[in-house]
Copies of this chain bind each other. A is one copy, B any other.
């Protein structure tokens, strides 16, 4: 339970920043070096590396250093637990709307 919870915490926190989501989207189109990403997002190398560390720690990005170049690629993390949490939330909302609908239907006659 604690592990599951921590996993959701860190993934949602990682996704709460537009640059980090942008990096994930950019890498979805193909690998890029750290310098490529810094240029693309108009950030310093230090700034982009900070974001990459967070994304790497939750498995959304993987990096590999060959010679002097560190290449970034999309990580294997599928966000399946996060997607499942959201799907459950949607079901709860729909169930609540159904109950509300039934209530309104049941009490419709009372007004006349």
Q: In this assembly, does A12 line the interface, its C-beta being within 8 Å of a C-beta of chain B?
A: yes
A38 interface hit (Cβ, 8 Å): no
A104 to chain B, nearest CB (A): 16
CB of A48 within 8 Å of the partner chain? no
**Known contacts A12-B13, A21-B8; is A96 also within 8 Å of B74 by CB?**
yes
A107 within 8 A of B: no
Contact A86 B82 (CB under 8 A): yes
Complex CA–CA separation, A21 to B78 (angstroms): 20
A16 interface residue per 8 A CB criterion: yes
Does chain B have a CB within 8 A of A24? yes
Once the chains are docked, how many angstroms separate the CA of A86 from the CA of B90? Answer: 14
In contact, B85 and A83 (Cβ under 8 angstroms): no
Task: Mark each residue of chain A from 1 to 20: 1 if its CB lies under 8 Å from any CB of chain B, else 0.
Answer: 00001001110110111100
From B76, B85, B93, give the contact of A74 (CB < 8 A): B93
- Asked if A79 contacts B83 (CB within 8 A), the reply is no
Contact A8 B18 (CB under 8 A): yes
Would you mind naming 18 contact pairs between A and B with Cβ atoms under 8 Å apart?
A: A5-B18, A5-B21, A8-B15, A9-B18, A16-B16, A21-B85, A25-B92, A28-B88, A28-B92, A28-B93, A74-B92, A78-B90, A78-B93, A79-B86, A82-B86, A83-B86, A83-B87, A86-B86
